[in-house]
Amino acid sequence: MEKIDSHLKAFHTYVVGRIPKLSILIPMFISIELGLSMLVGYFAARMCAGPSPKTRGRIPSLIFRTRTHKVHLHHWFVFSNILIVTMVLHVFIATPNIFYGFLGGIIAQGVLYYDDWHHLVSKHNS
């Protein structure tokens, strides 16, 4: 038992020594503005989007149909493109942390909340 404890202690020391202490907090909050605006964006998307896949939300989905396929532009996909374009062009409303955090919260909600988030193109059922 003592040998196992010493191996676990050595492993713990090795792993913890390799990870910078504060890097664990970076994804959570780079700043208070960024963290809070991400939460606001997440909950705003929850209020506007449908409660489950294939359920209409307060804002209708962008779905385009061709003869054989259906293209569903999920809100996370639309806002990812908006985020990329605004970052490249250095365009933002309010401060960058608030604007980009809000968009990031909307994107996170779309990816984390729905299990069909990766289905962009599908064949028609008929």
- Cβ partners under 8 Å of residue 119, min gap 6: 72
Written as one letter, the residue type at 37 is S
Residue 2 lies in a domain: no
The reported pLDDT for the residue numbered 34 is 84
CA distance 72 to 120: 5
Which residues form the domain of 38?
Answer: 30-123
**Per-position pLDDT tens, the chain of length 126:** 556 666 666 665 665 555 554 444 455 557 878 888 888 998 899 888 877 777 777 777 788 888 888 888 888 889 999 999 998 998 888 888 889 889 988 988 888 887 777 777 888 765
**Distance separating alpha carbons of residues 28 and 117, to the nearest angstrom:** 22
In a domain, 45, yes or no: yes
On the CB side of 12, CA atoms within 13 Å amount to: 6
Please count the structural domains in the chain.
1
